[in-house]
Structure 1
Amino acid sequence: MTAAAGNSGASRTIGLAAGGTGGHLFPAEALARELLARGHQVVIYTERRGAAYTKALEGLPFVVLPARSLAGGLLGKLAAAFTIARAAWRARGDMRRRGVALVAGFGGYPSFAPAVAAKSRGLPLLLHEQATRLSVANRQLLRFADALAISFPSVSGAEGFDAARIVETGNPVRRDILAARAPYPALSDETPLQLLVVGGSQSARVFGETVPPALLALPERIRRRLRLSLQYKGEDADAIAARLREAGIEATIRPFFDDMGQQLANAHLVITRAGASTAADLLTVGRPAIFVPIPQGGSREEQRRNAETMAAAGAGWCVPEPELRVEGLTALLADLFGAPDKLAAAAAASSAMAQPQAAAKLADQVERMLQARAR
């Protein structure tokens, strides 16, 4: 808790609006728990996908609202507009009953209706952007926002918004990630090489197809030291693990790691996507990474910018998926595992970018806005 918390005044109820992915919901959860620790009440507005994150929402009041993207043709947009209006009406009534004093939006199209409901009631609206570029929802809501919190020193898409109302807080992470902060594991010619490969909440089939053959092509002196943790959902996971073990590589392959903090703490190198939540977790623990931005979909540009930003800061290496080839990955891994100083330097750069106090900084901003409203 930071100094501003002592001036927060009476307990208030804060609404947090988040889309249905972990990248939106986890930062909302982190802020919610920080606000609860400061004596405030909270409620999270999300949709059915977000409600499935039962561990993240444990002990937190939440409301599941109908949600629909505005993507699609005319009929799709009309249906989405009706859904948003219905969700905003429900959110407005809930805010009135709970006495919500401020709403913080974390992006994703399900956050749109609660934000609209907040402004219809004259409540302050704080937007939080996890990436280096404003999400579609946040760009549309920016005109209604009273403040914008950002995770990186600069963000694209906020041009024209009053710079005095932009505050850099970082991206709040879960408590198990904060607890995993530890010095970079020492490397020598004899120590095991811990490689973690994760593809985000949706996994990444390309990693299961490309990483194992790249590892099998490494020199034996490196293979014998490798300890691989691979997130992979393919039906051939057992067969892949067997081939790796035959080559002397200890391999753990799972569809999902529920101990991500510990996995990151153990890792000497991570191969990963470049989503905002993944980036925040990685930087918080301070580990170097090979970033492979998702090549298609709405998050393509966001992930590319995230990866290039972190690579430019020296925290890792950006390899676009179309360039992710077995031979090239083998060469890059051989170079990095053969140069511990490179990995240690990238780990230091990653740690330097971390903002472990992001949840506290964001809570400070909430309290400043509450104080300004009370005056």
Structure 2
Amino acid sequence: MSAVRYPLETVGLAAGGTGGHLFPAEALARELQARGHGVVIYTERRGAQFTQALAGLPHLVLPARSLAGGIGGKLAAAAVIMRAAAIARADMKRRGVTLVAGFGGYPSFAPVMAGRSLGLPLLLHEQGTRLSLANRQLLRFADRVATSFGDIGGVDDGARGKLVETGNPVRATILEAARAPYPPLAGDAPLRLLVVGGSQGAAVFGRVVPPALLALPEALRSRLQVSLQYRGDDADAVAAQLRDAGIAVDLQPFFDDMAGRLRDAHLVVTRAGATTIADLLVVGRPAIVVPIPQGGSREEQRGNADALERLGAGWCMAEDDEGFTAPALAARLDALFTDPAILVGAAAAAAQLGRPDAAARLADEVEALLQARAAGTGTGTRG
């Protein structure tokens, strides 16, 4: 049997198991492939479930474990990370990997450290408005840090010379949806509302959104066309209640045509994950964003939501300070749908902030580091 042959030059991409980490990695991988580079994505079992995102992309599923927990948990996690790093290191040597790009999440630790043990350049990408925990820990090893926003927290002054703003790469389906203009909001035309919880889930949307919609005036209810992502056991009853009130609703546990629904929406109610924000801005759709109230992404999502509101592209309704309630949401929806100019203005602001060329800009940074490595001039950091 002949030996497996690999491209002369391959870029390794290390991504956690959520869509927020994997989708930007996928977008960069496909851009690099289009430029003739070899690629391989290193992820863990959750990331491997995004089969459509990984289709046609070489990838390796590594063991992973969070460092959360007591001393015993941290020791067990360290052992898993060491084993995963050894597997990744061997794979990188076989494939001839020449650079590693890390996209955050604890599963990115092992392949990033494997790359550093081989002396490879490291590019980190930060999707949010503040460095994630994983990227903060890996910052000292990075040659460059690509950011989605111009103003980013969690970076010491001494490391700011490594930063370059590229935007957050989005999937091809989102780029296709971005070609459509904001839907007209004239006369008695339908009002299309998209409500989606994202990979973190949003059971609170099922508790807050239906009663908020029922509290709207009949004139608005009769125009509403709602796409509601909801996984509750009472989904059929919730849908029937909304339809009885004159609201056209498509209630499903998961939407596999998210780009099309985002394209057609006048307003989106969603969590504030970085990939969600990037999708909204590229397509140019206003949103009511509800950052998750707890967990490791709490600070990141609140920063994303506040930034969206500050830039005029949406409105933050925080669940943890009781800002996201049925009466509050009903009042917000009533105000927005009654004065369509507000939505049109927020859509325009979002579109101006979108970065449809983010994957290309990030690929440019990869190539700059590769060229600097080939020339033996260090990291290629711009002066």
- TM-score, with length taken from structure 2: 0.94
Per-residue deviation, 1:162: 3.5
Tell me the equivalent position of 1:341: 341
Tell me the equivalent position of 2:19: 22
Does structure 1 conserve the Cα–Cα contact (< 8 Å) formed by 2:8 and 2:96? no
Does structure 2 conserve the Cα–Cα contact (< 8 Å) formed by 1:203 and 1:255? no
Structure 1 ranges of 4+ moved more than 4 A: none
- TM-score, with length taken from structure 1: 0.96
Partners of 1:154 and 1:28 in 2: how far apart?
22
Task: Return 5+ residue gaps in structure 2 as ranges.
Answer: 1-6, 376-383
Partners of 2:72 and 2:137 in 1: how far apart?
20
Which of 51, 54, 61 pairs up with 1:54?
Answer: 51
Change (3 A) 1:224 1:11: farther
Per-residue deviation, 1:159: 1.6
Does structure 1 conserve the Cα–Cα contact (< 8 Å) formed by 2:43 and 2:61? yes
Partners of 1:138 and 1:372 in 2: how far apart?
23
Partners of 2:307 and 2:73 in 1: how far apart?
35
Tell me the equivalent position of 2:276: 278
Partners of 2:80 and 2:243 in 1: how far apart?
51
Map Cα deviations across residues 268-293 of structure 1 (whole Å, 9 max, x no partner): 00011000011111111100011111
Residue 358 (1) aligns with residue 355 (2): no
Tell me how large the CA RMSD over aligned residues is: 1.0
- Partner-residue secondary structure (3-state), 2:225: strand
Which of 184, 198, 201 pairs up with 1:203?
Answer: 201
Tell me the equivalent position of 1:329: 329
Partners of 2:67 and 2:235 in 1: how far apart?
37
Does structure 2 conserve the Cα–Cα contact (< 8 Å) formed by 1:203 and 1:233? no
Identity %: 67
Which of 66, 70, 79 pairs up with 2:67?
Answer: 70
Partners of 2:312 and 2:158 in 1: how far apart?
30
Which of 165, 168, 172 pairs up with 1:171?
Answer: 168
Partners of 2:316 and 2:356 in 1: how far apart?
24
Partners of 1:300 and 1:202 in 2: how far apart?
11
For residue 120 of structure 1, what is the amino acid of its counterpart? Answer: S
Partners of 2:268 and 2:196 in 1: how far apart?
8
Per-residue deviation, 1:328: 1.3
Residue 42 (1) aligns with residue 47 (2): no
Tell me the equivalent position of 2:304: 306
Per-residue deviation, 1:11: 6.4
Per-residue deviation, 1:71: 1.1
Matches within 5 A, 1:95-244: 95-181=92-178, 182-244=180-242
Per-residue deviation, 1:348: 0.6
- Partner-residue secondary structure (3-state), 1:270: strand
Partners of 2:211 and 2:271 in 1: how far apart?
19
Does structure 1 conserve the Cα–Cα contact (< 8 Å) formed by 2:39 and 2:58? yes
Aligned residues: 366
Per-residue deviation, 1:145: 0.4
